Amino acid sequence: MSHLLEVRNLRTHFQTREGLVRAVDGVNFYLDRGELLGLVGESGCGKSITALSIMRLVAPPGKIVSGEILFAGRDLLKLANAEMRGVRGNDVAMIFQDPMTSLNPVFTVGEQIAEALRLHRKLSRKAARKAAVDGMREVSIPDTELRANDYPHQLSGGMRQRVMIAMALACDPKLLIADEPTTALDVTIQAQILELLDNLRKTRELAVLLITHDLGVVAEVADRVAVMYTGKIVEESPVNELFARPKHPYTEGLLRSVPKLTKKDVVKAERLQTIEGTVPRTTALPPGCHFEPRCPYRMPRCKKGEIPLYPVGETVTVRCVLFDPATIAAMPQHSAERFRLSDANENES
């Protein structure tokens, strides 16, 4: 069975005064209907550029230089601009990071939701208005008839984000890309928005690509997780497996740096662990594995050439030479045990 979305070897680069920035550098992943994939990583790792590449909204000097973006069997990168406009906002929709800057301040929110319906579904103004109000009701906006006449500045941050979701879902897309949908919202509103997205994807059988730097968000709603670092996916795994047994040293470091709570919900009195060093400059990435200068397990081989994604069991892939079968075979028994156990755990689950 073919996947709804399949991204193959996607590369998006930016030519800058300082040099070439490989913002997205050979990214591969897939997404099926009804599935939620979390794309996580630090700011600047390429998450949002990956999303904009799928939507073909990368602005100059950015350029998609190679790869395939297969959606329902069609390569979006080969579509004419007019064809892509028919896909964008219709079959594939996106919720952008900041609803205040993404919404037009001079039009009511009802008009902005109706616009996509009039463009893609050719509805009359009256029918589009009714569908927009129904969409606002579906995302739990109260007093929808009145709120549809409001301008973005008249709504709270949480309500604006609900409007963005209603706008994205107006034409019943098959794929929804949510780029940091809970940014700048308080914890209570974050939980409501996440619950709303999770319910909508289940009832509509939506495929959702959720972009975030918040591991807690991923743990709450994702089925699978892809971890990005300097433009590359370094680990992809089912969400429970990733949190229970992280494979890549970067993923391991991220999880160790999260504050832990005791059963009594009191923060343990111990020093937080951190990842050594800093993220390298995008115009001066180290050879081989980009995480090598910060990695506690680094070895000479890490600097030699492109590191591929190694399969670990049937559901996990890791971009780390520690999981190369040849590396494991050459390790002392006590050192290799961790990686052999990872294989065993995968096969048992």
Question: CATH number of the domain that 24 lies in?
Answer: 3.40.50.300
Evaluate whether residue 297 is within a structural domain. Answer: yes
The whole-angstrom distance between residue 196's C-alpha and the CA centroid of its chain comes to 17
Residue 301: inside a domain: yes
In a domain, 16, yes or no: yes
Beta bridge partners of 12: 24, 64
Full pLDDT tens readout for the chain, 349 residues:
689 999 999 999 999 999 999 999 999 999 999 999 999 999 999 999 999 999 999 999 999 999 999 999 999 999 999 999 999 999 999 998 877 788 999 999 999 999 999 999 999 999 999 999 999 999 999 999 999 999 999 999 889 999 999 999 999 999 999 999 887 778 888 888 889 899 989 999 999 999 998 888 899 899 999 999 999 999 999 999 999 999 999 999 999 888 776 555 555 566 778 899 999 999 999 999 999 999 999 999 999 889 999 999 999 999 999 998 888 777 765 455 555 444 444 444 4
Parent domain of 19: 1-80+226-259+282-348
Helix (H) or strand (E) holding 346: helix 333-348
Quick one: tokens of 126?
Answer: 């009256």
The whole-angstrom separation of Cα 210 and Cα 183 is: 12
Other Cβ atoms within 10 Å of 19 Cβ, number = 12
Give residue 225's pLDDT: 97
| In a domain? residue 69 | yes
Residue 23 within a domain = yes
* pLDDT at residue 335, rounded to an integer: 54
| Residue 4 within a domain | yes
Return d(Cα 161, Cα 60) in angstroms, integer.
27
Give the residue carrying structure tokens 């991220």: 254
Task: Provide the token pair at 275.
Answer: 């990842």
Q: Is residue 59 part of a domain?
A: yes
What is the tally of structural domains in the chain? Answer: 1
Task: Count CB neighbours of 307 within 10 A.
Answer: 21
Query: How is 130-166 classified by DSSP, letter by letter?
Result: HHHHHHHHHTT-SSHHHHTT--GGGS-HHHHHHHHHH
pTM of the model: 0.90
Domain assignment present for residue 309? The answer is yes
